[in-house]
Amino acid sequence: MKTFTAILSLALLTGTAHAKICTENEAIAADLAVDNLSNWKAIYDNYTAYKQCDDGSIAEGNSEAIARMFADKWKETGKLQSLIDRDPTFEEYVLRHIDSTLDTNDLTQVAKLSSQYCLTSNKPFCSKLFSAVQAVEKQD
């Protein structure tokens, strides 16, 4: 049992030792970048560069940018799917940003779009997106 505990402790310490920390300069850059997240590529690039800074007001800005893409540029969801196909961790990031900081009208719009206007090729993602909206609505 002691060996197992030692190995588990070492594994946990090793995992956290490699976690990237958001520096002050990165936080400033991530905060400024939020204003330029007007397409899925920009959101993905922001995710890859600053995911370690995705907290507080920066996370709220990321959530707003993602909601705007869904609500205002739904037809570009195929581009999102291409990015997710290349980097499946991006899907989790996007879905995590469907949260309680979003405007109720935006959540309603995203639910409608994901349930009624989804391309056949995006159905699995749309189902997850719809579920994410429902989870947020249940919290309220």
Convert the pLDDT of each residue in 54-100 to its tens digit: 999 999 999 999 999 999 999 999 999 999 999 999 999 999 999 99
Burial status of residue 96 (CB atoms within 10 A of its CB: 0-12, 13-18, 19 or more): middle
| 8 pLDDT more than 60 | no
Report the C-alpha gap between 137 and 109 in whole angstroms.
13
Q: What's the whole-model pTM score?
A: 0.84
